[in-house]
Structure 1
Amino acid sequence: MKKLVNAPRAVVPEMLEGFVALAPGQALLEGETVVVRADVPAALGARKVAVLSGGGSGHEPAHAGYVGTGMLHAAVAGDVFTSPSADAVLAAIRAVAGTAGALLIVKNYTGDRLNFGLAAELARAEGITTEVVVVADDVALLATVEPARRRGIAGVVLVHKVAGAAAAAGASLAEVAREAAEAAAALGSMGVALGPCTVPAAGRPGFTLGDGEVELGLGIHGEQGVSRVAMQPADALVDTLLSAIVEDRKVGRGDRVALMVNGLGGTPPMELAIVTRRALAFLAERGVTVERAWQGTFLSALEMPGCSLTLLKVDDARLARLDAPTEAPAWPGRGQVVTRRQVVPARSALPTVQGHPKPQPEMAQVRAAALAVADAWDAAEARLTELDSRAGDGDLGLSLARGAAAIRALPERAWATPSGALTELGQALRRNIGGSSGPFYATALLRAARYLASKPVDAAGWAKAFEMGVEAVSELGGARPGDRTMVDALHPAAATLVRAVKEGRTLGEAWAEATRAAEQGAEATTGMSPRLGRASYLGERAKGIPDAGAVAVVIWMKALGGIGG
């Protein structure tokens, strides 16, 4: 187990100290793992209805993240996945409740119900009017478990918001409890896990999943779900979750809902956004109006990868509660939904090359050379991917394969003049090669094209154009020979090409010498410590592996070997 903790027993108090240190509106309750609002009036009669929640830790930002004006007055944290004690809940009630009373919002787990319920009884015995609302929003067991016995999961956050807004508006305890209970009854949630989580005290995952498996309908404590199925595309999983929710909650055409897309702790925003996209489309296809939607991690299960979806039926009154202001640090805002996706038309500032009716004589050879480069890149894809994976991000092979396809797709008119062909090649590679290679190759080709547009296209012209392209690469990336980049192959190749042409070699002979110089430069990168690019993060560990970008230069230079005839 690898976790950024000091000791399992210190996890909860140290976590709460860290949260409160960045939340000016919060305070710690002395002697307890309880977070309270810092602005609670001292006079009991001046206090509005207090709204409290909590449960085991490991669900962050729930519940401490929702303590603040307009939401919770206090959050009680137990050990990881363990209900807090009744004494801790009672201490929280005493700290924030006044004559208006307190409402406890409890997720439907046995430990939480027992301890919060007992604390409510103890508070009543002390004269503090206290009500309890239980949230049981998990629809995963819809066919086997009656609604009142279901688990409480991420939907509880929306109940916090509704109840907190009602209390802030001055509603009575009975009114706040009624709105919270009605919201809880209108909720439906279901989750899917792509893997387990590890409780710090246990030190091992709560269950195991195969590489091709997911767990449907899991709880939020690392417990297994209702079924284990094969991994599916995100859209299919979203459809499964929402189908269960809309069936159970009887959500249909004409209904208005709020949607919550909740990450379980190990799911990146990229994946949650893909889930949100499909969830909105699924509901739109069924005539359901999504009035508000939120996407993020609102109630997690430690580092579990996966998500849950929640639907809450809304009307104008409930929507006003969701929209009411709050200073709770973890509340994501109003959740406005874009009803019509805006797509701004793209315009190119660079005109395409129109070409000439009669291509210049040498262009057939130039085109053949370019197509030879495309073939060489395709053939080297696996090799370049392997090299780049060992000292980079592994995308070079695929990127150059895309560049090869772009070269082949160039229209006939692109091959009329050397300058025009280089311009079209630069634009095509710019658009199709990802990472750093695309900008480098595009810049080099465009710089060379500008030079050839006004100079004789002879051996000296090609050599100078190549040299200028190499200079452009070095200027753009800041690399110099010895930095362990593609420049280590390009620089000696350019110098050799210009020298050999000046000495009277044919372009073909000069190119062969330049290619050998590039090969030697690429081989030399094997012993270099990288100073630029992703490989620089590896330092000395990159030694022994030639730079993939430099190797790619050798590959296309060899492919171009016949350009001079």
Structure 2
Amino acid sequence: MKKLINDPRAVVRQMLEGLVALAPDQALLAAEDVVLRRDPGPAATRRVAVLSGGGAGHEPAHAGYVGPGLLAGAVTGDVFTSPSTDAVLAGIRAAAGPAGALLVVKNYTGDRLNFGLAAELARGEGIPVEIVVVADDVALRDTVAPEKRRGIAGTVLVHKVAGAAAEAGLPLEDVAAAARAAAAALGSMGVALGACTVPAAGRPGFTLEEDAVELGLGIHGEQGVQRVKLAPADALVARILETIQADLRLRSGARVALLVNGLGGTPPMELAIVARAALAWLRAQGIEVLRAWSGNYLTAIEMPGMSLSVMALDDARLAFLDAPASAPAWSGDGRIPDAPAIIAAPAAVAEAAAAPGPLAPAMKRAVLAVCAALEAAEEELTALDSAAGDGDLGISMQRGAAALRALPEGAYASPAGLLEAMGQALRRAIGGSSGPFYAVALLRAARRLEGVAAPTAAQLAEAFAGAVAAIGELGGARAGDRTMLDALLPAAEALTAGKGLPQAVAAAEAGLEATRAMRPRQGRAAYLGERAVGTPDAGAAGVVVWLRALAAA
């Protein structure tokens, strides 16, 4: 287990101290793991205090939601363990005034017992207390009664509704009623791509095959309701939303809020793909998504995966969601456009179509041979690039091959025209550094052959040398810097010396092999220094792949 912690037994306290150190409007109780608003105002004039909490490991919940319009306090237990009764009672005492307190509790036995007992003790001290239990996990709809379901990420939306109702000055009974209605209108379900590791345990909670996911899991690192095959994001989203829709009985015309929640180990890239799919699916059912949020709201430490929460809205609930709120983890009002704005790119200047020239069959044969070779080498190039770079060369070359395959017949009108078309296609298809390098090389070579219908070997060699020089000028690399130039320069020298393509390939292969012993001085590999030595350069390997294909064709 590798975690940035000191002592597993001190994780919770040190985490809360760090969170409060970063939040000017929050405070931490000295004797309990309770985060409160720093300046709640005089007790006699306080509105209803909304408190929530649970075990640690769900960050940014629950401390991240302490602030105006949300929670008055958050009580934290050990990782995935309910806080103690004394901690909850201390939070109630510190946050509540005569208006009382509302406890928003996720439906787990430990939480219900400890929050429930604390509420009873507080009532005995004269503090009015109500409890709202959130049981939004629809994955259990065919397994247990609704009141036995778990509380998961949708709880955050209940925090927002309850906090807004309290901030509006409503009495405790009305704040509780608004929170209960929100919980009843809520359905959530999640999927995990792997397990998380509890610091005290030191090992993942379960093992999962590479091609499997856990569907319908809770938030405590446990397995789901069902283990299923990994599917594309759109398919997993549809399966989850079908379950939520059936449980909430949502029909066309329904108005909802959507929460796309990461479980701690899912990058924003993947959550955005999930959000895209969820919005599209709901809208396809005629369901109007009025508000939506995406991010890490209630996690399971570093678990890879996500959950979706849908809350049916009426005017009152929408107003509560829209009410002002401020807390470290609350990310805005959730307003979204009715549809994504996709703006057409300016059209390129149209060129007259040209007829294929006499060399078209041979040139096309060579291009397709290069494409096939690059596609076949995708895995090899990815592995090499992953060893000393960012691992995208294989897929970049594959994209480039697809772009070259799609060239129109008119691109083969002349050698210069083909090189121009290839350069333009690759600059659009390939991101990173490879696209600009190959594009500038091909465009430079095209200019060298302008007006030459049937170039000689010497003219082709001169164009090749010019292309290689253009790469050096653009990137600033030289021979020995461990780049693609270490394969290209020897090949160019062989061609300009009057040797044929087989000899140029042999020279490039020797240059590639030499990169094994070179210390990189350009690109991302340069950050690794000596650690990159021993592996050939991926860019040079890509050059050898397509040069071999040209020679064979």
State TM-score, norm by structure 2. Answer: 0.92
Secondary structure, aligned partner of 2:140 = coil
Cα pair distance change 1:198/1:442, threshold 3 Å:
same
Q: How do residues 346-361 of structure 1 correspond to structure 2 at under 5 angstroms? A: 346-349=345-348, 351-352=350-351, 354-355=353-354, 357=355, 359=357
Question: How far 1:440 sits from its partner (Å)?
Answer: 1.1
Amino acid at match of 2:215: L
- Find the partner of 1:483 among 457, 474, 481: 481
Distance 1:365 1:193 in 2: 52
Report if the CA contact (8 A) 2:356-2:412 is conserved.
Answer: no
Change (3 A) 1:341 1:466: same
| Equivalent residue number for residue 38 of structure 2 | 38
Alpha-carbon offset, residue 102 of structure 1? 1.3
| CA deviation profile, 1:521-554 (whole Å, cap 9, x unmatched) | 2222111011223333433232222212213323
> For the residues of structure 2 that align with 1:20 and 1:67, how far apart are their CA atoms?
10
**Contact 1:70/1:161 (8 A) holds in 2:** yes
Q: 1:81-230 counterparts in 2 under 5 A?
A: 81-230=80-229
Residues 135-534 of structure 1: pairs in structure 2 closer than 5 A: 135-349=134-348, 351-352=350-351, 354-355=353-354, 357=355, 359=357, 366-378=363-375, 380-453=377-450, 461-495=459-493, 497-498=495-496, 500=497, 505=498, 509=499, 514-534=504-524
Distance 1:380 1:367 in 2: 20
For residues 85 and 538 of structure 2, the distance between their equivalents in structure 1, rounded to whole angstroms, comes to 62
1: CA distance between counterparts of 2:285 and 2:549? 56
Give RMSD over aligned pairs: 2.5
Residues in 1 aligned to 2:504 and 2:229: alpha-carbon distance in whole angstroms = 54
Aligned partners of 2:380, 2:194: CA distance in 1, in Å?
32
**Greater CA deviation, 84-93 or 263-272?**
263-272
Change (3 A) 1:461 1:211: closer
Amino acid at match of 2:74: A
Contact 1:353 1:423 in 2 (8 A): no
TM-superposed deviation, 1:134: 1.4
| CA offset digits 1:116-162 (Å, max 9, x no partner) | 11211222222222222111112222234222222211111111101
Question: Unaligned regions of 5+ residues in structure 1, if any?
Answer: none
C-alpha spacing 1:385/1:135, structure 2 compared with 1 (3 Å)? closer
- 1:51 counterpart = 2:41: no
**Which amino acid letter does the alignment assign opposite residue 488 of structure 1?**
D
Range with bigger deviation, 389-398 or 206-215: 389-398
Residue 77 of structure 1, CA deviation: 0.6
* Match for residue 544 of structure 2 among 545, 554, 560: 554
C-alpha separation in 2, matches of 1:525 and 1:314: 62
Residue-by-residue CA offset, 1:474-503 (whole Å, 9 max, x unaligned): 2322222221000112234435544x3xxx
1:23 matches 2:7: no
Secondary structure of the corresponding residue to residue 228 of structure 2: strand
Q: Does 1:3 align with 2:3?
A: yes
Distance 1:148 1:552, change over 3 A: closer
- What is the distance in 2 between the residues matched to 1:288 and 1:555? 51
Counterpart Cα distance in 2 of 1:364 and 1:235: 42
Deviation digits for residues 242-300 of structure 1, max 9, x if unmatched? 22222222222222111111111122222222222222233223222111111111111
Contact 1:159 1:180 in 2 (8 A): yes
Distance change in 2, residues 1:537/1:368 (3 Å): same
Contact 2:356 2:414 in 1 (8 A): no
Distance in 1 (alpha carbons) for counterparts of 2:352 and 2:459? 21
The runs of 5 or more residues in structure 2 that have no matched partner are none
What SS does the aligned partner of 1:140 have? helix
- Structure 1 counterpart of 2:449, one-letter code: L
Distance change (3 Å), C-alpha of 1:384 and 1:117: closer
Structure 1 residue identity aligned to 2:40: V
Q: Mean alpha-carbon deviation: is it higher for 290-299 or for 554-563?
A: 554-563
Q: Distance in 2 between matches of 1:191 and 1:289?
A: 22
Q: Distance in 1 between matches of 2:380 and 2:233?
A: 32
Mean alpha-carbon deviation: is it higher for 113-122 or for 344-353? Answer: 344-353
Aligned residues: 552
Structure 1 residue 459, shift from structure 2 partner: 5.3
Conserved? CA contact 1:59–1:301, under 8 Å: yes
Distance in 1 between residues matched to 2:379 and 2:33, nearest whole Å: 55
Q: Secondary structure at the match of 1:112?
A: helix
Distance 1:561 1:104, change over 3 A: closer
Q: Which moved more, 1:398-407 or 1:440-449?
A: 398-407
Report deviation, 1:60.
0.7
Shift of 1:342: 2.1
Q: CA deviation at 1:455?
A: 8.3
SS at 2:138's partner residue? coil
> Retained in 2: the 8 A contact 1:455–1:461?
no
Q: Is the 8 A contact 1:253 1:287 kept in 2?
A: yes
Q: Select the structure of larger CA radius of gyration.
A: 1
| Counterpart residue identity of residue 200, structure 2 | A
- Tell me, yes or no, if the aligned pair for 1:352 and 1:424 is still in contact at 8 Å: no
TM-score by length of 1: 0.90
Contact 1:353–1:414, Cα closer than 8 Å, also in 2: no
Q: What displacement does 1:441 show?
A: 0.8
SS at match of 1:387: helix
Offset at residue 24 of structure 1 (A): 1.3
Identity fraction in percent: 65
Is the CA contact 1:481–1:488 (under 8 Å) kept in the aligned structure 2? yes
Residue 74 of structure 2 aligns to a residue whose secondary structure is strand
- Single out whichever of 339-348 and 102-111 deviates more from structure 2: 339-348
